[in-house]
Amino acid sequence: LCTNSPVFLGSCQRLASKCLHTTVSFLKKTGTEHWWLERHLKDPFVKATKQQHYRCRSAFKLLEIDDKLHILRPGLSVLDCGAAPGAWSQVAVERVNALGTDPAVPTGFVLGVDLLRISPLEGAVFLPEADIADPGTQRTIQNLLPAGKVDVILSDMAPNATGIKELDHQKLINLCLGLLNLSQIILKPKGTMLCKFWDGRESHLLQSRLKEQFQDVRTIKPQASRKDSAESYYLARLYKRK
Ligand SMILES: C[S@@+](CC[C@H](N)C(=O)[O-])C[C@H]1O[C@@H](n2cnc3c(N)ncnc32)[C@H](O)[C@@H]1O
């Protein structure tokens, strides 16, 4: 084949463009990975997670919220929705004295539910591989809670993200609205609900539903929640229903 022929030159061009494409995607990928790794290594909450033996850094979101707003105290019963790998449950076990380690204060109760498996945690009861939206799961939750009732509902649930912001936002809002329906059955009067949402068009809908059922509703963005994330929390206190 003549090196000047259009056939040869065309093949070279196609090959070069293919190589360039592969190189650019490789550089893009390694660039993102490098940025992620650097952010991860510099993150003070990642260091603190290791030092304080929490299962993941999200523990610090709940610790911060509870330090400021005191939603957990010894003797309370807690339902932790989307509990895996178990960091929020670790915090809840400590703060409600679920292990009974402090005999001077009442002993609390922690029930964690997740679609995934969760390694056992002393002081917590886990319901793994269970969908909170499933009526069967909701019946089991009622059976496991002391007298079928709970003081605090925590939700750090996050559905598998599709990457389509509006769709992911809506999926999480629907999960929270479903949980709000469950709260009407299991939450004690004056109870608390803390739920994560990804901000978007329908956040106000969830907020107004919470305001119908709770006396005090506020929006919280803890320091440990990354600034570039759409994640925030609604903290709803003083449940109005009997
Ligand atoms: C961000 S993680 C929770 C981290 C947890 N708070 C901790 O501190 O370890 C979100 C979890 O929500 C769970 N999840 C999502 N949808 C759920 C559903 N319908 N029922 C139960 N769990 C769900 C996911 O499986 C995932 O483990």
**Residue 85 preceded by cis peptide, ω within 30:** yes
131 Cβ inside 6 Å of ligand 1: yes
96 domain residue, yes or no: yes
125 Cβ inside 6 Å of ligand 1: no
Tens-place pLDDT, residues 173-189: 999 999 999 999 999 99
What is the average per-residue pLDDT within 30-47? 77
Q: Is 195 exposed, middle or buried (0-12, 13-18, 19+ CB in 10 A)?
A: buried
Containing structural domain, residue 166: 55-239
Whether 61 and 14 map to the same domain: the answer is no
> How many folded domains does the chain comprise?
2
Whether 33 and 89 map to the same domain: the answer is no
157: pLDDT strictly greater than 60: yes
Single-letter residue type at 224: A
What is the average per-residue pLDDT within 126-151? 98
88 Cβ inside 6 Å of ligand 1: yes
Q: Which pLDDT score is estimated for 16?
A: 47
Tens-place pLDDT, residues 90-125: 999 999 999 999 999 999 999 999 999 999 999 999
Residues 178 and 6: their CA atoms lie apart, in Å, by 64
Cα-to-centroid distance, 8 and ligand 1 (Å): 56
Q: Which residue of the set 165, 196, 221, 227 is catalytic?
A: 196
47 domain residue, yes or no: no
12: pLDDT strictly greater than 50: no
Whether 28 and 130 map to the same domain: the answer is no
| Closest by Cα among 174, 202, 200, 191 to 241 | 191
Mutate to test the pocket of ligand 1, among 80, 110, 114 (most ligand atoms within 8 A of CB): 114
50 domain residue, yes or no: no
Q: Which pLDDT score is estimated for 8?
A: 47
Whether 147 and 211 map to the same domain: the answer is yes
49 domain residue, yes or no: no
Measured at the CA of 139, the angle between CA 136 and CA 142, to 5 degrees, comes to 150
Whether 14 and 66 map to the same domain: the answer is no
What is the average per-residue pLDDT within 78-99? 98
Whether 165 and 121 map to the same domain: the answer is yes
Is residue 196 flagged as an active site residue? Answer: yes
What is the average per-residue pLDDT within 200-216? 97
Q: What CATH number is given to the structural domain containing 205?
A: 3.40.50.150
9 Cβ inside 6 Å of ligand 1: no
Q: State phi, psi for 80 to the nearest 5 degrees.
A: -105, 105
Residue 203 · residue 182 · CB < 8 Å: no
Whether 27 and 145 map to the same domain: the answer is no
134: pLDDT strictly greater than 70: yes
Whether 155 and 232 map to the same domain: the answer is yes
Q: State phi, psi for 238 to the nearest 5 degrees.
A: 65, 65
20 falls in which pLDDT band (50, 70, 90)? very low
28 falls in which pLDDT band (50, 70, 90)? low
Residues 89 and 96: their CA atoms lie apart, in Å, by 10
Whether 133 and 178 map to the same domain: the answer is yes
From residue 81, alpha-carbon distances to 49, 130, 213 in Å are: 21, 10, 19
Question: For residues 214 and 29, which has the higher predicted lDDT (pLDDT)?
Answer: 214
Whether 11 and 94 map to the same domain: the answer is no
